[in-house]
Amino acid sequence: MPLVSPIMAAGFIAPNLLATGQIGQAMPKFAMAVSLGVVDYLSSAKVVSVDTGTLGVGTTIFPLIVPQPVLLAALFSGFGSMGLLGPMAPLVIVGLANGITVGCAALALLKINHPTVGVGAGVARLVGGSAVPAMLDGFDNMDMSTDGSKKMATAIGIALDITFAAFFEPVPIVGSGSPVPSGGVGFGSVI
């Protein structure tokens, strides 16, 4: 499946929020706002990899696997920085962390071109700006523009920034190889 907001919201974020007791009538709207922000951020980010293997031209198409404990800890930091750590915050945070990480693993793919390595392995990371503007836009698109909604969007954006600042993922490189060793840098995006 492609990385699109309605699938991410309905298939991953909303069910995980529901599983943690978020049963209010605004929950689907909240899930869609979060999904819009996450998908917008990931779609605009660039992927860079450091590669090693054999000389040639290769490519990578691999799932974006974000460790749930990393995002969970970052969400606690983001919520804390915006003063949103109330009695229900841990449940919301767990629902968001589970929904976003499972949704990314199922829908988001790293597509990387490796011009100097045909067969081998690389270490990929996402580079780009802050996720906060994307999250604010996602919430604005769902008409959630109150002060509380902006604080929530900012907290989630901060958490994504923390997560992807330290994020890296080993990826396979497949393509045309040779017996000559090579290394280099790959470039791509999240699709």
Between CA 159 and CA 161 the distance in angstroms is 5
N-term to C-term CA, the chain: 10
User: pLDDT tens for residues 31-84?
Assistant: 999 999 999 999 999 999 999 999 999 999 999 999 999 999 999 999 999 999
Q: Is the dihedral of CA 40, 44, 45, 51 positive or negative?
A: positive
pLDDT for the residue 1:
67
Q: Are 52 and 173 in contact (CB under 8 A)?
A: no
Average pLDDT over residues 90-118: 97
Q: Are 61 and 175 in contact (CB under 8 A)?
A: no
Between CA 112 and CA 47 the distance in angstroms is 7
Whole-prediction pTM: 0.95
CA angle at 107 for the pair 106 and 112, rounded to the nearest 5°:
110
Greatest CA separation for the chain: 61
pLDDT for the residue 71:
98
